[in-house]
Amino acid sequence: MIHNQIMQLYWDTTYAVAVALIEHYPDLNPVEIGLVELADLVEALPNFVDDTAVVTERMLTDIQITWYEEITNP
């Protein structure tokens, strides 16, 4: 029996978080989003399970860059 597992998202699962952001917020441009707003968007993702207190500016920047690269280089 095969179970469909939904991937849990953490601050350091950068690519998975970026893909989830693209899927959940297709009309948003990551270049126009500040890091505080980005953190709020990530924390609102359905499968996000990480501790909200451990995020760093570097983690958010990595997510933002990956998100941007994915939508500009399909």
pLDDT at 1 exceeding the cut of 50? no
**Residue 34 included in any domain:** yes
φ, ψ at 45 (rounded to 5°): -65, 140
Q: What is the pLDDT of residues 19-42, one digit of tens each?
A: 999 999 999 999 999 999 999 999
CATH value at residue 30: 1.10.10.600
Asked whether residue 28 is assigned to any structural domain, the reply reads: yes
Q: What confidence score (pLDDT) does residue 6 get?
A: 73
Q: Which domain holds residue 51?
A: 14-72
DSSP state of 8: P
User: Based on the structure, what is the number of domains in the chain?
Assistant: 1
User: Looking at the DSSP assignment, which residues form a beta bridge with residue 9?
Assistant: 48
Q: What percent of the chain has pLDDT over 90?
A: 88
